[in-house]
Amino acid sequence: MTFIATERANRLGLSSLDSVVAFVKALPGVDAVGLEARAANLATRSIKNSSKMAALDTIIRLIDLTTLEGADTAGKVRSLVAKAATPDASHPDTPRVAAVCVYPDMVEHAVAALGSRQGDGVTGISVASVATAFPSGRSTLDIKIADTRYAVEKGANEIDMVIDRGAALSGDWETVYSEIRAIREACDRGDGTHAHLKVILETGELATYDAIKRASWLAILAGADFIKTSTGKVQPAATLPTTVLMLEVVRDWFLLTGEKIGVKPAGGIRQSKDAIRYLVAVVETVGEDWLHPHLFRFGASSLLNDVLLQRQKMLTGHYSGPDYVTVD
């Protein structure tokens, strides 16, 4: 395996693949009980009504509205885009979401449907594509690179790649690193810019907090713009302790280098109440700066409807129901 050095690895004086792997292997272990207690404590924070509306709007602005089904069609992607741009037609002041997240062959449909509304998550709605033989990642590197390049060529602003969990679990961190690095290069557009890379660790398969911590560091060193918990296809998907751990890695990296990396919990966050807990965890771990579409996202599909129902309740004073939001 050829080692492709990164600026980030150089910063830590890691000049070879071996030294990178030795670095992540030497990371101190995670205090699992402490981490879970910390997350549970953050989850008890009470959010008053006056802050709740702001929290709900923030959640919407941070959502990657996702459809990753075998049954996806161009039509489904178009309706997803419509919902992303106008989440609640009965309340047109509702903010739009950060991005839509689709399979690579659906990127062109999302780009076409968005038109001039496409942007980077702040300037407009971003198009994120999963790639690298999502969700299992069980294919050859060539195919994963081709998958990535295809999505980038079709206009994806962001690539959500999966790591090789088999390699990570068998201790082959070299492969994990090299693959992330290769995909990161495949994200280059050739004009000096690159599609932002989110690295999915699939924490539900990594089994231990120590492995999640190692994978987070490795992804950052290899060039990730975001680290993402899960594909949403494996249980458990995103959990609060896992997300807090990844936020802590991001915080440590920021303290070390001043560089801000994004975090994306994905899968299993269906209720506003849960999402608000994640916001609390972000603010308490890395600070309010991270509540920005460039630094934090929710990978979700049904979450948006629940947020809209809560938002309608705040606005109308009575409970709303699923008849008042679009079915996806």
Partner 1 sequence: MSHMSIPKTYKLFIGGKFPRSESGRVYDVHGPKGVFLANVAQASRKDARDAVVAARSAQSGWAGATAYNRGQVLYRIAEMLDGRTEQFVAEIRSVTGASDKVARAEVHAAVDMWVWYAGWADKYAQIAGNANPVSGPFFNLSVPEPTGVVVSVASQDTAYSLIGLVSAIAPAIVTGNTVVVIANEAAPLAALSFAEVVSTSDVPGGVINILTGSAAEIMPWLASHADVNALDLAAASGLSTVEWEKAAADTLTRIVRPRAAFTSLSVDRIDALVETKTIWHTKSLA
160 is known as an active-site residue = yes
Q: Which of 144, 198, 213, 228 is catalytic?
A: 228
- Annotated catalytic residue: which of 225, 264, 274, 306? 264
CA distance 226 to 200: 9
Nearest distance from C-beta of residue 62 to partner 1, angstroms = 24
Phi, then psi, of 251 in degrees rounded to 5: -65, -45
Torsion sign across C-alpha atoms 195, 105, 246, 208: negative
Is residue 3 within 8 Å of residue 178, measured between CB atoms?
yes
Question: Which of 2/44 has CB closer to partner 1?
Answer: 44
Q: Report DSSP letters for 130-196, one per residue.
A: E-SSTTT--S-HHHHHHHHHHHHHTT-SEEEEE--HHHHHTT-HHHHHHHHHHHHHHTB-SSS-BPE
Least distance from C-beta 309 to partner 1, angstroms? 9
100 pairs with which residues across the strands?
65, 127
Q: How far is the CB of 325 from partner 1 (least distance, A)?
A: 11
Report how far residue 113's alpha carbon sits from residue 300's, in angstroms, rounded to the nearest whole number.
20
Nearer to partner 1, 64 or 306 (CB): 306
Query: Residue 35's Cα: distance from chain center in Å?
Result: 21
2 vs 319, beta carbon nearer partner 1: 319
Q: Which of 64, 88, 160, 274 is catalytic?
A: 160
DSSP readout, 118-132?
B-SSSSSBEEEEE-S
Task: Kindly state the smallest distance separating residue 313's Cβ from partner 1, in Å.
Answer: 9
Contacts to partner 1 by CB under 8 A: 317-324
313 in catalytic set: no
Q: In the complex with partner 1, which residue's Cβ is closer, 136 or 320?
A: 320
C-beta of 75: minimal distance to partner 1 in Å? 25
Is 76 part of the annotated catalytic residue set? no
Distances (CA, A) of 304 to 159, 174, 198, 270, 309: 21, 38, 21, 8, 9
Q: Indicate the residue among 92 and 319 with the shorter CB distance to partner 1.
A: 319
Q: Would you state the structure tokens that stand for residue 120, as one six-digit string?
A: 């980077």
Which one, 90 or 193, has the nearer CB to partner 1? 90
Of 194, 271, 209, the C-alpha closest to 242 is 209
Least distance (Å) between residue 90 CB and partner 1 = 11
Q: Which of 137, 81, 132 is nearest to 110 (CA)?
A: 81
Catalytic residues: 160, 228, 264
